[in-house]
Amino acid sequence: MSNFIGSSLLLPIAILFLLLPHSWSVDIRTQQLIGDICRRTYNYGYCIDVFYKNLYKPTMDIKGLTEIAVTQSLLHTSDTLKFIVKSLDSERRSDIRDVYNFCRTSYNSGLSKLTDALLAFAKGDYKNMPILLLQGDRSLSNCQAFADNRVPRLADENGKNRELIQMSLVSGQLIGHV
């Protein structure tokens, strides 16, 4: 009976171990690339965290890391836009509704540019990808300037989006150079 209990507990633990990403198994070259990218961003710790949480194999080249950065930029921008729309629906203060309305427009534009940047990346168009990322960043920055910390959560999300776009720009610029 005790062997059955022991083996029945061991199987789920083994499966969990195999499914969880393990940062210690990331090869040294990938670690160096991540470090090189993150040292050039605004928030080193956040950058490192995003890459290691989203690695899908232990060896990643600069294109794989750029894919992670651009994809995370797009996903986080989309999630922030959902937050803005949901908050707009429930907000009663007109001054804060104005912030959300302005930011919704900015984020729709930014999301469009980031989508175009991801498509450019997928096509191997590494010349236009950074241009589109910068255009997306400018759109999102409009929200950041207008919101002016009147909505703390939005200010936090804006900062994360800015960092993700910076990660995308830095890694994208390294394609063909490392």
Summarised one tens digit per residue, pLDDT across range 154-164 is 999 999 999 99
List, in order of start, the domains of the chain with CATH numbers.
23-174 (1.20.140.40)
- The residue among 97, 46, 98 whose CA lies nearest residue 72 is 46
pLDDT in tens, 30-89: 999 999 999 999 999 999 999 999 999 999 999 999 999 999 999 999 999 999 999 999
Task: Tell me: pLDDT of 114 over 90.
Answer: yes
Question: What does the pLDDT read at residue 128?
Answer: 96
Q: Considering the entire predicted model, what is its pTM?
A: 0.83
The angle at the Cα of 82, spanning 71 to 161, to the nearest 5 degrees, equals 45
Given a contact cutoff of 8 angstroms between Cβ atoms, the answer to whether 154 and 103 are in contact is yes
Q: Could you read off the pLDDT of 6-19 as tens digits, one per residue?
A: 455 555 554 544 45
For 33-53, give the DSSP string. HHHHHHTTSS-HHHHHHHHHH
CB atoms within 10 A of CB 81: 20
